[in-house]
Amino acid sequence: MAMTVKPWQWGNVPGHEMATPVKGDVVAKLVKAAKRPLLIVGGASLKEKLGGKLLIDFAAELAKAGIPTVATAHVYKALKDRGVEPAAIMTVADVTNRLQDPNWSVDGKGPHDLVIYMGVSYQLQSQMLSTLKHFATHLRTLSLDRYFHPNATYSMPNLKEDEWEQALNNVIALLKS
């Protein structure tokens, strides 16, 4: 039976096509199956804490699993401090706009097929996912946010903080195995 999830913000109902809610093990399978994933890490990752760690620590571990990463603004230094060399530094809006081009890639090694958002404010992420949903149908999108994003192709369901931490740890462990 399919899981039904309501958008975290009740006004965010995009129509008949909504994200498929996924758990940590499915997230890892999606990332492993992708030929050219891209991780976009936003500034909220520097403020959000999970179990004594910042969200940026989880993002760095995902990047170390071999996912090309775009750092937004001052996230670059935080990733560098954690041993990650981002493929690019761009605003969330800029990278989202560029991803509408089916031939564009952050590193010139071929177009991306799965775009993962993490640490971007809910409202901004919702708009970026809506843009890609309508104008980049060649892409699949995945939100690793704590709250369900109906405009993504795949999104984690609304989670309690400890469930979110457990899900992210599960994804990282599965990607490293």
Q: Is the pLDDT of residue 2 over 70?
A: no
Whether 8 is covered by a domain: the verdict is no
Element holding 49 (H helix, E strand): strand 49-50
Whether 6 is covered by a domain: the verdict is no
CA distance 113 to 53: 30
CA distance 5 to 18: 10
Token digits of residue 159: 């989670």
Whether 58 is covered by a domain: the verdict is yes
CA distance 3 to 53: 29
Whether 112 is covered by a domain: the verdict is yes
Burial of 74 (0-12, 13-18, 19+ CB in 10 A): exposed
Whether 96 is covered by a domain: the verdict is yes
Q: Is the pLDDT of residue 31 over 60?
A: yes
Whether 13 is covered by a domain: the verdict is no
Whether 1 is covered by a domain: the verdict is no
| Number of independent structural domains in the chain | 1
Closest CA to 46 of 59, 34, 35: 59
- CATH number of 115's domain: 3.40.50.1220
Q: What is the pLDDT of residues 107-146, one digit of tens each?
A: 999 999 999 999 999 999 999 999 999 999 999 999 999 9
Domain extent, residue 73, equals 20-176
Task: Give the pLDDT score at 18.
Answer: 83
Q: What is the pLDDT of residues 55-80, one digit of tens each?
A: 999 999 999 999 999 999 889 999 99
Whether 9 is covered by a domain: the verdict is no
